[in-house]
Structure 1
Amino acid sequence: MLLPYGILEMCGRQFWIEPTRYYDILQFANRSVPSMSKTLLFNKILLLNENKKGLNIKIGHPFLDDTIFRAKLVDQGLGSKVQIFKMKSKKKFRKRFGYRTQYVRLHFDSILEIKSFKNYHLLTE
């Protein structure tokens, strides 16, 4: 059995989104992160399958105009540490550094038709 799903473009990547699931994405670039448990709306939807049998599929050109995904910001955190080691042989040059990628955990709860969304934080990139 296939749940309703959609393909959403967010932070330069495309995600297969199903309602009632959690997704870890890279932290929003060049944008202040909203506070915890704030409701977010995403409108860059590329494809939407509304029913379980796959009979009603909408494809955007490039995005759908009348549909949004609603998500709730659940958690912010850091990914695993990435170690980078540079070395030049026979030159006694060694350099080691690393970083941890920041991520945001979102819980997508529903797919909505655009009617009115005054109290939501709409994310468009």
Structure 2
Amino acid sequence: MYAVIKTGGKQYKVVAGEKLKIEQIPADIGSELTIDQVLAIGAGDSLKFGAPLVEGATVLVKVISQGRHDKVRIFKMRRRKHYQKRQGHRQNYTEIQVVSING
């Protein structure tokens, strides 16, 4: 069984037992969260879509860690204008593990 969830403005296809990194959620490590924004649920050949959400469907996840992604380097330059700009960015993330899908 799998589900398509929406969190942090992005959509993820998740399966029970899977680990993934999502946009940061303010939660303690080891705590369990319920994600109720489920867009679709599938099992084998059957697939159930929501309009826009599936009624009564939830995904139970456990927070494993909080962290930051690798640095993304931004370099801007205008040739012959003596302009160079260097910038970096590290995005925060929350690593979760899917415990169960209830639909």
1:103 aligns to 2:101 (yes or no): no
What is the DSSP-based 3-state SS (H/G/I as helix, E as strand, rest coil) of the residue aligned with 1:61? Answer: coil
Please tell me the residue identity of whatever aligns with 1:87: M
Aligned to 2:77: 87
- In 1, distance between residues paired with 2:79 and 2:66? 40
What is the DSSP-based 3-state SS (H/G/I as helix, E as strand, rest coil) of the residue aligned with 2:90? Answer: strand
Please tell me the residue identity of whatever aligns with 1:98: G
TM-score normalised over the length of structure 1: 0.77
Aligned to 1:72: 62
Deviation, 1:59, is 1.3
Aligned to 2:34: 41
- In 2, distance between residues paired with 1:40 and 1:99? 28
Please tell me the residue identity of whatever aligns with 1:65: E
- In 2, distance between residues paired with 1:86 and 1:26? 26
- In 1, distance between residues paired with 2:23 and 2:7? 9
CA RMSD of aligned residues (A): 1.3
Please tell me the residue identity of whatever aligns with 1:54: D
8 Å Cα contact 2:39/2:49 also seen in 1: yes
Aligned to 1:54: 45
- In 2, distance between residues paired with 1:79 and 1:89? 31
Please tell me the residue identity of whatever aligns with 1:59: F
- In 2, distance between residues paired with 1:21 and 1:73? 12
Deviation, 1:54, is 2.1
Runs of 4+ in 1 over 2 A off after TM superposition: none
Gap regions ≥5 residues in structure 2: none
Deviation, 1:112, is 2.4
State, as a whole percentage, how many aligned pairs show the same letter: 26
Deviation, 1:58, is 1.8
- In 1, distance between residues paired with 2:40 and 2:60? 15
Aligned to 1:116: none
What is the DSSP-based 3-state SS (H/G/I as helix, E as strand, rest coil) of the residue aligned with 2:4? Answer: strand
Please tell me the residue identity of whatever aligns with 1:34: A
Aligned to 1:120: none
TM-score normalised over the length of structure 2: 0.92
Give the number of aligned pairs: 103
Deviation, 1:34, is 1.2
